Amino acid sequence: MSEEVSEQTAQKETRNKRKAPSGPGQIIRRGKKSWLCRVFTGRDAAGRKSYLNKTINTSRKDAEKWIRDQLRKQDLGLKLTTETKSTLSDHLDSWLKTIAKPRVSNTTLAGYDQQLRTVKNSIGKVKLKDLSAKDIQGLYAKLSPSVARHVHAPPCVVH
């Protein structure tokens, strides 16, 4: 009988000490319906491993979907982030500075800035994570067709 108890204890210890799977993504159970999702993002300047972490408080299937989505973004060369405080206005300012400015003339850049001011004044305070097609359609509804066309064009012209 004592052999059975020690064998069961050894099996439990082995189960609890299992090494996390190596690979680009991990899912670690944190509670009944809580999962810590981790995606390896590379190494920092000091050579330490860097991960993107997110807690998913629904099903394991949702956690697996989040991991797949992040790995797909990584494969496409997109920057992985869980930043939730960034607004549309912040994103448009960053786009003007980092993408448009090096590629267009100062006159064109000034035109883009003027056109995007309309967007920023209307829906610029919306967080990117909360931005929806309804917000954009609402903006277009307030604009005349020619202004809507010009507001829509700059981000599509220069990538």
- Dump pLDDT digits (tens) for 60-77: 999 999 999 888 888 876
Domain boundaries, the chain: 21-82, 88-157
Angle at which helices 145-157 and 106-123 pack, to 10 degrees? 120
Nearest one of 130, 44, 60 to 52, comparing CA atoms: 44
Mean pLDDT of the chain: 79
Q: Beta-carbon neighbour count of residue 149 at 10 Å?
A: 11
- Dump pLDDT digits (tens) for 17-39: 444 455 678 999 999 989 999 99
Structure tokens at 37: 């999702």
Q: Beta-carbon neighbour count of residue 13 at 10 Å?
A: 9
In which element (H, E) is residue 119 found?
helix 106-123
Type of residue numbered 63: A
